[in-house]
Amino acid sequence: MINSIRMNHHNPFHSFTNHSDRIQKPQTNSYDFSIFGDTQKQMVDDECYTGEDRIASHVSISGSVHVKYDESSTEEDPVVYIWGKDSNGKPYESKVHLNDINPYYATPAEMIALSAHLGKIGENIPGSNMNTIGLLACGFDVNTKTNCVKFAETYIEMQKVCHNTSEVNVCQLQLERFIFFYQQNQQNDFWLQDNEKNGAV
């Protein structure tokens, strides 16, 4: 059965106040990047989706992710259909409202979808090529919620140690873009709820 995730209105040019105190931020320890050197793991038995309607397709040892816009998707309410196989080869599928993706608690599949959407609307970070999102999807089950912000922060700190300034800058901008996208949509959500409560809309 397809899971449906609810969202609300979105204005990409609306100024916003930092609502980070309202964002769910689960406590997570630093990630162990040694898993990426595990040569014993095998690619999931799946192939990249090549349909004309795809916006992303990814296959790795941690599962497969295929993304296309759902027929209900609109500019204000972008909705995607995500499907594939998890790291155990079990099929999964979900319909996700991108405005509701919380990078502090999201699946790698959801972050791949969000990154692809931002690229489609011209709001991704040039030169990012998914960076930390690609690594995230290679190291953790694609359909399991995790703190993607913590993962990115840990990766950025590793790059600083290696003096990889360009990678640090790109990944930092990408991370900030994901957080900004979520915050501005939550801002619009709070505005809509307040105005509905006051009978203004």
Count Cα neighbours of 111 within 13 Å in the Cβ-side half-sphere: 34
Average pLDDT on 135-160 reads: 85
pLDDT digits (tens, 9 = 90+) for 93-106: 999 999 999 999 99
User: What type of residue is 75?
Assistant: E
Name the nearest CA neighbour of 67 among 6, 133, 7, 11: 133
Cα angle: 89, vertex 92, 96; to 5 degrees: 145
d(CA 181, CA 183): 6
DSSP secondary structure letter of residue 33: G
The whole-model pTM stands at 0.72
Chain-centre distance of CA 139, in angstroms? Answer: 15
Q: What local confidence, expressed as pLDDT, does residue 160 receive?
A: 94
Number of C-beta neighbours around residue 170 at 10 A: 20
Decide which of 49 and 74 is more confident.
74
Residue 107 has which token pair? 């699946």
Unique residue bearing structure tokens 């990047």 = 33
Residue 108 has which token pair? 């790698």
3-state secondary structure of 62: coil
Residues 6+ apart with CB under 8 A from 131: 167, 170, 171, 174
Q: Which of the residue ranges 82-86, 128-132, 162-166 has the most confident prediction, judged by mean pLDDT?
A: 82-86
Decide which of 131 and 65 is more confident.
65
pLDDT digits (tens, 9 = 90+) for 69-102: 999 999 999 999 999 999 999 999 999 999 999 9
Decide which of 176 and 133 is more confident.
176
Decide which of 42 and 164 is more confident.
164
Asked if 26 and 104 touch (Cβ cutoff 8 Å), the reply is yes
Q: What local confidence, expressed as pLDDT, does residue 11 receive?
A: 34
d(CA 106, CA 160): 25
Q: What local confidence, expressed as pLDDT, does residue 108 receive?
A: 92
d(CA 124, CA 172): 12
d(CA 125, CA 118): 9
